[in-house]
């Protein structure tokens, strides 16, 4: 059985790429196809596989601005010789063309946010000036139609959370199974908390990191932020001296930051929130917006979930957490349900050989 793994782009080492890593270990002879690829930015596990990038790859530096061309890039891949195609989707990935005898399983982190549930925010607030908003809006309608049509190319959807399962139904009217993404929970550990809270996130608008920066700059508590993204300069401008930007760090450094932090802060709605699970595996409580994946990952007594986005609600949640008793071992025990072992045991039957011939099973 020849297997192809299709991932939207391999330019970072975040949650989606960690799913691809697990699939690579599960299917060691699988080939990988992606729109954009930078070997220096991914793990050795991914680099050990044969990776094919699209014809758009020479322009990967500007990948965020190349959405209108991505359908062409995906449909240019030749997947005729593959029996099983597993697409890893949150940007476009499921849009590849497969043979009629192949089985296509889509592991969906979320339907594309900027075309579906967050489209009003992108077009009205986050896309820049009026010219950029007009350009984005003019392409978005066509891309939504294309994205909806490509759902029919998928034999089976797997959602990374109940939250995303609902989004898949609203966007594509397709049912999906839920398999939580793999987190290497056993590699995290807990140490006595030091005087800082932690954010680990891509620095993009929908993550609402600006709210946390304003709150911490005002209250004087120490905050460390790990991550990169287009909001970096704006956030630095907003921040006071007690807010530290750590940029990108090694896995070893990240585990140490988790282990020694006082609390983990998640001010935006997450599809699932692998970073929250990593914090729980480090025995640390969560302060998070009570939407999306946080409702599935943060247990009772595992932190504070606040109902409305905004600085005042976040500040109140931080103060509430100060009065709570935290039991690190209980948080670590809860995090174990999101392990890589659990992921593998649940996904293996869905991509096993007997299921390949049953192309239209939904």
Task: Give residue 45's Cα distance to chain centre.
Answer: 19
DSSP 3-state of 206: helix
| Residue 360 in domain | no
Question: Which residues fall within 8 angstroms of residue 103, CB to CB, at 6 or more apart?
Answer: 83, 84, 85, 155, 156, 355, 356, 358, 359
Composition of the chain by helix, strand, coil, percent to 5: 45, 15, 40
β pairing state of 176-178 and 303-306: unpaired
Region of residue 223 (left: phi > 0; alpha: psi -120 to 50; beta: else):
beta
263 and 325 part of one domain: yes
Q: How many domains does the chain fold into?
A: 2
The pLDDT tens digits of the residues spanning 117-145 come to 888 877 776 666 777 778 888 888 899 99
- Edge-to-edge strand list for the sheet holding 264-266: 243-247, 223-226, 197-200, 264-266, 286-289, 303-306
Bridge partners of 120, per DSSP, are none
Domain harbouring 26, CATH code: 3.40.50
231 with 293, same domain?
A: yes
Instruction: Determine, yes or no, domain membership for 298.
Output: yes
Judge if 213 and 233 occupy the same domain: yes
Asked, for residue 361, whether it belongs to a domain, the answer is no
Query: In this structure, is residue 244 part of a structural domain?
Result: yes
Residues 174 and 212 in one domain: no
Q: Determine the pLDDT at residue 267.
A: 97
- Which pLDDT value is given to residue 127? 61
Domain-located, residue 362: no
Q: Are 350 and 282 found together in one domain?
A: no
In eight-state DSSP terms, residue 79 is: B
Based on the domain organization, do 319 and 351 belong to the same domain?
no
Q: Which domain holds residue 17?
A: 3-182+340-355
Domain co-membership, 156 together with 67: yes
* 196 and 163, same domain (yes or no): no
**Which residues, in sequence order, are CB contacts of 129 under 8 Å at separation 6+?**
none
Low-confidence ranges of the chain (pLDDT < 70): 125-128, 353-362
Answer yes or no: do 130 and 258 share one domain.
Answer: no
pLDDT of amino acid 91: 82
Contact predicate 258/279, CB 8 Å: yes
pLDDT value, residue 138: 83
Tokens at residue 359, please? 């192309």
Pair (40, 158) in one structural domain: yes
pLDDT tens profile 73-92: 999 999 999 999 999 999 89
What pLDDT is stored for residue 114 in this prediction? 84
Per-residue pLDDT, 118: 81
Whichever domain contains 306, its CATH number is 3.40.50.2000
**Angle 92-98-101 from CA coordinates, rounded to 5°:** 145
Question: What is the pLDDT at residue 353?
Answer: 61
Tokens of 197: 């809270």
Is 216 found in the same domain as 177? Answer: no
How far is Cα 273 from Cα 317, in angstroms, rounded to an integer? 19
Angle between helices 340-347 and 15-26 (to 10 degrees): 60
């Amino acid at each position: 059985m020849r297997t192809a793994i299709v991932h939207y782009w391999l330019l970072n080492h975040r949650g989606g790429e960690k799913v691809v890593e697990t699939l690579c270990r599960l299917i060691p002879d699988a080939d990988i196809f992606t729109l954009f690829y930078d070997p220096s930015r991914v793990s050795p596990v991914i680099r050990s596989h044969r990776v094919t990038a699209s014809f758009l790859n020479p322009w990967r530096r500007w990948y965020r601005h190349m959405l209108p061309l991505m359908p062409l890039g995906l449909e240019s891949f030749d997947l005729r010789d593959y029996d099983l195609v597993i697409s890893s989707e949150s940007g476009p990935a499921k849009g590849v063309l497969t043979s009629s005898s192949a089985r296509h399983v889509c592991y969906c982190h979320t339907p594309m946010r900027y075309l579906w549930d967050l489209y009003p925010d992108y077009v009205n607030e986050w896309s820049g000036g009026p010219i950029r908003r007009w350009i984005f809006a003019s392409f978005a309608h066509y891309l939504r139609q294309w994205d909806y049509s490509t759902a029919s190319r998928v034999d089976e959807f797997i959602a990374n959370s109940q939250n995303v399962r609902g989004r898949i139904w609203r966007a594509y009217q397709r049912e999906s199974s839920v398999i939580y993404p793999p987190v290497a929970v056993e590699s995290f550990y807990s140490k006595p908390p030091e005087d800082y809270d932690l954010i680990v996130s891509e620095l993009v608008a929908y993550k609402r990191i600006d709210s946390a920066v304003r709150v911490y700059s005002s209250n004087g508590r120490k905050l460390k932020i790990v991550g990169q993204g287009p909001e970096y300069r704006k956030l630095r401008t907003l921040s006071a001296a007690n807010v530290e930007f750590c940029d990108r760090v090694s896995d070893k450094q990240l585990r140490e930051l988790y282990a020694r932090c006082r609390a983990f802060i998640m001010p935006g709605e997450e599809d699932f929130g692998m970073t929250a699970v990593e914090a729980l595996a480090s025995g640390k409580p969560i302060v998070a917006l009570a939407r999306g994946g946080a409702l599935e990952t943060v247990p009772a007594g595992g932190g504070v979930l606040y109902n409305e986005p905004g600085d005042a609600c976040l500040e109140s949640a931080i103060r509430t957490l100060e009065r709570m008793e935290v039991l690190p071992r209980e948080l670590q025990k809860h995090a174990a349900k999101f392990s890589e072992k659990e992921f593998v045991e649940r996904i293996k039957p869905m991509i096993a050989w007997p299921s390949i011939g049953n192309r239209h099973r939904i």
